[in-house]
Structure 1
Amino acid sequence: MFIVLLRFAENRGAAAQYMAGHRAWLEQGLDDGVFLLAGSIQPGLGGAVLAHGADRAEVERRVAADPFVAERVVDAEIIEIAPGLADKRLDFLLT
């Protein structure tokens, strides 16, 4: 499982220009079943994505395809987590 942190970078001011492409990128990841959750890092620091069911190479490929990453609107950090315990509602993350 991966947490992808997308923190605003030097080209933050161009976010509106690339928002439609970024949104489509998020929706594609959700449709593909790789992204489980996406949201904003508060207060207005960027965004985060929870990814599951893909290896690191695929997550890196997907992150590189985000228009926000490609256009330096955000800097991406990929954190890999090896879940050991979970609430029963999240047991599927342990596989």
Structure 2
Amino acid sequence: MFVVTLTYLTDLDRVDEALPDHLSWLDRQYADGVFLASGRRVPRTGGVILAAGVDRAELDARLATDPFAERGLAGYEVTEFVASRVADGLERMREG
């Protein structure tokens, strides 16, 4: 499982211009089950994505196709972890 932290590298006007394309990209990641949750950071300095079901190389390849990445609007920090405990309904995220 991965926690992806996005940090905006530009002003919010440029981020907002690219937001519809970013949201379409997110929809594609959710459609195949890789992205589990996403949203804005508070304060609005970037975002957070929870992802699972792919290896790090595949995740990096997906992140590179994000319009925010392609346009140089956000930087990405990826933290991998092993979920040893999960809430009911999230069992597929646990290792093993």
Same fold? TM cut 0.5: yes
Instruction: Give the alignment of 1:65-80 within 5 angstroms.
Output: 65-80=65-80
| CA RMSD, Structure 1 to Structure 2 (Å) | 1.4
Give the unaligned 5+ runs of structure 1.
Answer: none
Instruction: Tell me the CA shift for residue 68 of structure 1.
Output: 0.5
Q: How does 1:8-87 map to 2 (within 5 A)?
A: 8-10=8-10, 12-87=12-87
| TM-score using structure 1 length | 0.90
Question: Could you tell me the TM-score, scaled by structure 2's length?
Answer: 0.89
Q: Name structure 2 gaps, 5 residues minimum.
A: none
Q: Retained in 2: the 8 A contact 1:34–1:52? A: yes
On the 8 A contact 1:11/1:72 being kept in 2, the answer is: no
Amino acid of the structure 1 residue aligned with 2:30: L
Q: Identity of counterpart residues, as a percentage?
A: 33
Aligned residues: 95
CA shift, 1:64, in A, is 0.5
Structure 2: distance between partners of 1:90 and 1:77: 23
